[in-house]
Amino acid sequence: MRKAIVYCHDTEAGFLEESTPGRGYTFTYDKQYMMDRTHDPVSLTMPFREEPYQSDYLFPVFTNMLPEGANRKIVCRSWRLDEKDFFGLLLKIATHDTIGAITVKEVES
């Protein structure tokens, strides 16, 4: 199982987990982050709530951060990643300098 901390505007917003490689994802908001009403949800489609979000597919807010087409091929070849390993790709490219407010950092086991 791979895990990551999700940051929004450099503040820890929650945790993203891949329970089954390529299938089975959970996102849970950090309680402290939710309590501070000056913070925004990571996505309009994922408003604050106590219960974890679960999906068979990586959530759109995260897949939209990934390169597509020829760029994905180049990046995956460079890092020797499977092009279908969206979670692995997210962990490699979303650690800093992303287009939006969200960054993702892998939790080392």
Each of the 109 residues of the chain gets a pLDDT tens digit; together they read 899 999 999 999 999 999 877 679 999 999 999 999 999 999 999 999 999 999 999 999 999 999 999 999 999 999 999 999 999 999 999 988 788 899 999 998 7
Please, are residues 17 and 29 in contact by the beta-carbon 8 Å criterion? no
Nearest-10 crossing angle of helices 86-93, 69-79:
80
Residue 72: helix, strand or coil by DSSP?
helix
Q: Which of 69, 56, 72, 59 is nearest to 21 (CA)?
A: 56
Q: What is the largest CA-CA distance in the chain?
A: 42
Domain region containing 27: 2-107
**Taking the chain, what is the end-to-end CA distance rounded to the nearest angstrom?**
9
Query: Based on the structure, what is the number of domains in the chain?
Result: 1
